Amino acid sequence: MGSDKNKTLVCVKQVEQEVVDEWDESMPLPGDIIEGFSEDDGEESFVPVKTMSEFRSKLGKVNPQVEFIRLKVRRGDSTLKLQARIAQKKGSLLHRKYATIQAATDERHVADLGDLTLEQCTDLQEMSRKLVVKLQSIGCSWGFRRHGIKYDWEMKARTHLPDQHCSVISSILFMPLQSEHCIDTTTARCMAWFSAAVSSGVPLEKLDASRKGTDWDEQQNQTLQGIRLWFLPGLEEILIELIPQPGEDRFGMEIKHTEEGFVLIHSVMTESVAERGGLRELYEEAIASGFQLVISRLEGKSLMPSSVCFDGLIQCCDLTQIKQNLSSAIHQIDTIQLHVMAWPNPSRATPSPTQAIGSVALLSPNPNGYFATAHFD
């Protein structure tokens, strides 16, 4: 009994494939007991093995022209035949190479073999079985093998973002007021701000609202740290270039704040830089459709409101500073780039000088000020 207990078997101790949800039942898995192999499907060519050194020695004698071998492994109460490749791996002793096996379908899946007792093999098999059950429970059951593909991130950002250095998505952080000790109260205030912005004609689409911290009622030594609301332009974000000419002393647009902290174009002068850039046409369409023409970014910098303090003040961009930047640019005859949140208008007979990127088409606001339906292009 004692000798049987200490008897060792050739076993897969571990595999080098770290992405476990890409393992496959047809691959050698930790705990698999290797009883032998053959160079083809015939039983007459089956080569039994009893030790790891014997297995490696016999692998080294296989014809190099043989692409696959057939492993005979014991996994639980079942005996399986797995297809595998012979791989060369460096050992620690003077970095000498020795033969081992890898999965036929994934060259990263290389087996680390060892002489283990039956008890050790059984423990490893149980670990592998539990892992398989866990992966299946979260939807990672054996499926198609995955691999990495190259992606031209720079080109995609240049093509599909209004500004390749800025995200289309914005967010605003709502800190709880002194009197607010409940998550529901702060969340309600957050949604009141969003609903008021949409009702006033600011084209927004809510993505998510997440909280940080816990309710005061749940744990007295922790307080709510804030609600962050993520949103994006509800219709489309359009790039406008304002190109002044010598002798012009203003861009010809008036900007103001909405009550919710957004910067909007309040008016556009005729025969001005802004009109040549297409802003007057967009402004008139906005008013006719019940929207505000909101500036989302100026020279790549966000003009969106960023946070609401503990005292309830909305932190937003300083209009005085924005006007100073515009004034400086017009006097230096510098081109200014700004992005406005607008809407698609397929009825235009001629192309507009503006460039629309990242369109998200929505229906017009309903009488209650909410968007009825939405779809992403």
Among 122, 137, 152, the domain-final residue is 137
55/131 same-domain check:
yes
**pLDDT for the residue 212:** 62
pLDDT, average across residues 150-154: 85
The reply to whether 199 and 335 lie within a common domain is yes
For residues 185 and 243, state if they share a domain.
yes
- Residues 361, 372: Cα–Cα separation, whole Å: 11
Q: What value does the mean pLDDT take over residues 34-63?
A: 87
pLDDT at 3: 57
Q: For residue 364, what pLDDT is reported?
A: 31
Which of 81, 113, 137 is a domain's end point?
A: 137
Q: Which two tokens stand for residue 115?
A: 């002489």
Is the distance from CB of 326 to CB of 334 less than 8 angstroms?
no
185 and 116, same structural domain? no
Residue 153 maps to a domain = no
Backbone φ and ψ of 146, nearest 5°: -110, 155
Residue 151 lies in a domain: no
- The percent of residues in the chain predicted with pLDDT above 90, rounded, is 42
pLDDT in tens, 202-259: 988 888 777 765 444 444 444 567 899 998 887 778 889 999 999 999 999 999 999 9
Task: Give the three-state DSSP class for 264.
Answer: strand
117 and 207 assigned to the same domain: no
Domain count, the chain: 2
* Integer CA distances (angstroms), 124 to 29, 129, 130, 303, in order: 9, 9, 10, 57
The answer for residues whose C-beta is within 8 angstroms of residue 242's C-beta and 6 or more apart is 251, 273, 274, 277, 279, 335, 336, 337, 338
User: Is residue 179 over pLDDT 70?
Assistant: yes
Assigned domain for 159 exists = no
Q: What is the pLDDT of residue 355?
A: 42
**Averaged confidence pLDDT in the chain:** 80
Check residue 376 and give its pLDDT.
23
34 within domain boundaries? yes
Cα(239)–Cα(177) distance, integer angstroms: 37
The tokens for 73 are 């492994």
Task: For residue 121, name the pLDDT band (cuts at 50, 70, 90).
Answer: very high
More confident of the two residues 131 and 296: 296
SS3 225: coil
**Domain for residue 164, yes or no?**
no
Structure token pair of residue 257: 């704040």
Q: Residue 168: pLDDT band by 50, 70, 90 thresholds?
A: confident
Indicate whether 111 and 227 sit together in one domain.
Answer: no
Q: How high is the pLDDT of residue 88?
A: 82
The C-alpha atoms of residue 97 and residue 99 are separated, in whole angstroms, by 7
The CATH number given to whatever domain includes residue 361 is: 2.30.42.10
Residues 268 and 359 reside in one and the same domain: yes
For residue 347, pLDDT beyond 70: no
Q: Do 195 and 107 belong to one domain?
A: no
List Cβ<8 Å contacts ≥24 apart for 328-336: 329/244, 329/251, 330/244, 330/248, 330/249, 330/250, 330/251, 330/273, 331/249, 333/244, 333/245, 333/246, 334/244, 335/241, 335/242, 335/243, 335/244, 336/241, 336/242, 336/251, 336/298, 336/299
* Domain-ending residue, one of 87, 112, 137: 137
Residue 150 domain-assigned?
no
Least confident of 103-117, 141-155, 352-366: 352-366
Residue 182 lies in a domain: yes
Domain span at 336: 170-376
What pairs with residue 254 in β-bridges? 267
pLDDT of residue 330: 93
> Across-strand partners of 229?
172, 209
In the numeric block, which tokens belong to residue 225?
A: 């740290």
Q: Which of 69-73, 112-116, 129-133, 325-329 has the lowest mean pLDDT?
A: 129-133
Specify the amino acid at residue 3: S
Local confidence band at 138 (pLDDT 50, 70, 90 cut-offs) = low
Does residue 50 belong to any structural domain of this protein?
yes
Percent of the chain scoring above 70 in pLDDT: 79
Please indicate, yes or no, whether residues 125 and 182 belong to a single structural domain of this protein: no
The pLDDT value given to residue 77: 86
Q: What is the model's pLDDT at position 137?
A: 61
What pLDDT does 284 receive?
92
Q: Is 253 exposed, middle or buried (0-12, 13-18, 19+ CB in 10 A)?
A: buried
On whether both 305 and 262 belong to a single domain, the answer is yes
54 or 148: whose pLDDT is higher? 54
Residue type, 231: F
Whether residues 231 and 354 fall in one domain? yes
What is the model's pTM?
A: 0.54
Same domain, 257 and 126: no
